[in-house]
Structure 1
Amino acid sequence: MNVKGLDYTCLTLSIIGAINWGLIGIFRFDLVAFLFGDMSWLSRIIYTLVGLSGLYLISTYGRICQVDDAR
């Protein structure tokens, strides 16, 4: 997978995580737990992937700065 594909995948997972946190905050409804079970192995994998995606997306700040400096 190229970097652009990884960026889109991580961004999509982070958006899913953000929507889930919004649902938790507003309605006390955990969509991931509802769909895959409360802390089942599948829901834990999803939570882990969302967290790793957020950590990876921190690197986009560096890439944004490089693009801005190139202009």
Structure 2
Amino acid sequence: MYKLNVLDKLSFIFIIIGAINWGLIGLFNLNIVGLVFSEPVNLIGRIVYILIGISGIDMVLFLFKMRKSFKE
């Protein structure tokens, strides 16, 4: 079985933050990242969005790793 490393754990956290943020944008037109880091999104807010995007890519790679470990 594949063991989670620190990057995978952080990616899960950022994916959850991103999913909640998108859900709130869709339901209430409320951007939590924009509220926390000021609107319009400044440099720190953009870094958060970039980290969420990188986390999404890491989770795709994680799925491939998990698939490979199940075959073994």
Over aligned residues, Cα RMSD in angstroms?
A: 1.1
Normalised TM-score (structure 1): 0.89
Distance 1:63 1:33 in 2: 33
Amino-acid identity (%): 34
Distance 1:24 1:54 in 2: 18
Aligned residues: 68
Which residue of the partner structure matches residue 30 of structure 1?
31
Which residue of the partner structure matches residue 48 of structure 2?
46
Q: From 45, 62, 65, give the equivalent of 1:63.
A: 65
Distance 1:31 1:6 in 2: 23
Which sections of structure 2, spanning at least 5 residues, go unmatched? none
Shift of 1:4: 0.9
Distance 1:43 1:27 in 2: 20
Which sections of structure 1, spanning at least 5 residues, go unmatched? none
Normalised TM-score (structure 2): 0.87
More helix by share: 1
Superposition pairs of residues 1-20 of structure 1, within 5 angstroms: 4-20=5-21
- Deviating beyond 2 angstroms after TM superposition, the runs of 4 or more aligned structure 1 residues are none
Shift of 1:55: 1.0
